[in-house]
Structure 1
Amino acid sequence: MKKYIAIGVVVIVSLFAFQSCRQGPPIRMAERVNLDLFMGDWYVIANIPTFIEKGAHNAIESYSRKSEYVIDTRFTFNKDSFTGPKKEYNPTGFVVQEDPSNAEWKMQFLWPFKSEFIIVHVDPAYEYTIIGRTKRDYLWIMARKPQIDQRELENLIKIAVDEGYDRQQIQLVPQQLKDQP
């Protein structure tokens, strides 16, 4: 029995380790990310979702500095509808110190495993951002407000597609305006 448990642990560890490895051509990184300006709430406007966020509504990613290169993250959403159960995840982001742009992070949901997290784009006003991965398997297009102009959204999607993402996989994330009836 112990042998099977040990094999199971090795398989799970291997899956996580290989999942976080870079595969594919390099992805563009934002030239320079001011971490203080990047902190705060970001509404997920569109994405290529991970398995935990499929069906997400009102998805919000919130960042706050824990220390110079460690970021506390809170990811919340309603599952499958605006009134669905509230889900919350709290991974920790680690800014790769060898990267002077501050655009490369490692995101840790489960110790000791860390996944690639690349800030592909952030506009000069820190109103819009695109987060991606070299594997082009997941993508997050986010904004400081729950709704954005359609032209701006198309521009952000174009940036993602130009970086090798499949346009057909990008989905809109429903966001409900809280101040409206």
Structure 2
Amino acid sequence: MRGVLSVMMAALLAGCVNSGTGPVPPQTVDAVDLQRYQGTWYEWARLPMFFQRNCAQSEAHYALQADGSLAVVNRCRTREGEWQQVEGVAVPQVAGETDKLWVRFDNWFSRLLPGVAQGEYWLLYLDDDYQSALVGHPDRDYLWLLARSPQVDPALRDNLLQVAREQGYDTEALIWRTADGEIKP
């Protein structure tokens, strides 16, 4: 009986030791000046996500608030040409650190489950001039390539794709912004 218990305890302890050895999370930028980050960002590409399933063109508008949070307005032009929008707020996950944010939108789901209905918004890349950014989820489920201009610059696109691949994101599954409203993988 002691032998069986010893084996079970060893297996349990081994499971505890190995439980934290999952994938290494992506690396974020050191810091983000939210004053400079505010304004309009155009989505060049994204990994598929349920809430954007009908979006052909998306943009995000951020405004720094007196309490240090960012007011968020995400706009989406559908394939039918209609604009839809949702409003929310982004706050640092850790006070004083601006590379990882919680984003919560004002919708039925967040009103129903306020503690659960917030998304992780990690800044993986941000150029020195705050003109392009790569934003992702730590589980690599979501990814957005963002820029201040809606027109895709090929060299910048290639740089963002390289950073995303180095961080372990599936860039083959990206959905790209189009000028005509058609959604193209």
Structure 2 residue identity aligned to 1:119: L
Matches within 5 A, 1:1-181: 24-81=23-80, 84-98=81-95, 100=97, 102-109=98-105, 110-111=110-111, 112=114, 113-175=117-179
Question: SS state of the match for residue 157, structure 2?
Answer: helix
Structure 2 regions of 5+ residues with no counterpart?
1-21, 181-185
Change (3 A) 1:64 1:58: same
In 2: Cα distance, 1:98 partner to 1:25 partner: 23
Structure 1 regions of 5+ residues with no counterpart?
1-22, 177-181
8 Å Cα contact 2:48/2:173 also seen in 1: no
Change (3 A) 1:42 1:175: farther
Change (3 A) 1:75 1:152: same
TM-score by length of 2: 0.75
8 Å Cα contact 1:45/1:175 also seen in 2: no
Cα offsets for 1:20-51 (capped at 9, x unmatched): xxx84211111121110000000000111321
1:57 Cα offset (Å) = 2.4
Structure 2 residue identity aligned to 1:72: A
In 2: Cα distance, 1:25 partner to 1:67 partner: 35
Change (3 A) 1:135 1:126: same
In 2: Cα distance, 1:68 partner to 1:137 partner: 30
In 2: Cα distance, 1:43 partner to 1:91 partner: 17
Aligned-pair identity (%): 22
Q: How many residues align?
A: 151
Cα offsets for 1:44-78 (capped at 9, x unmatched): 00111321212312311010012343111000011
Change (3 A) 1:68 1:121: farther
Question: SS state of the match for residue 28, structure 2?
Answer: coil
In 1: Cα distance, 2:161 partner to 2:96 partner: 25
- For 2:13, the equivalent position in structure 1 comes to none
1:122 Cα offset (Å) = 0.5
Specify the structure having the higher radius of gyration (Cα): 2
